[in-house]
Structure 1
Amino acid sequence: AYRAGVLAQAHPDSRPGLERNAWGLTMLVTDPFGNRLTFWERSAPDRT
């Protein structure tokens, strides 16, 4: 939901993608000052 809001804004440098990792999904956003913000969501445990 947060990613959709960021993508809806017209700022061309703010086009974050999702990266799938062993622990879940991450999204990296860089603000206008060069700070990098990482958002992550843990994936459900594998029940196999």
Structure 2
Amino acid sequence: VLILLVAFAFACGLNQLFWYYAKMKKAECEQDPGLDDYCSKDIFKHFSK
């Protein structure tokens, strides 16, 4: 049971980290239009709102 609790907490933390990173990258891409190749990647669109 303890292992499942630790794994669940790790998954929640990893999800929060991905959400924060995607939000930061989205803001960076909106500010600088010169990053077209980098900002056109779909990975950031999956985690940001």
Q: TM-score, normalised by structure 2?
A: 0.22
Structure with bigger strand share is: 1
Q: TM-score, normalised by structure 1?
A: 0.23
Find the structure with the greater CA-based Rg: 2
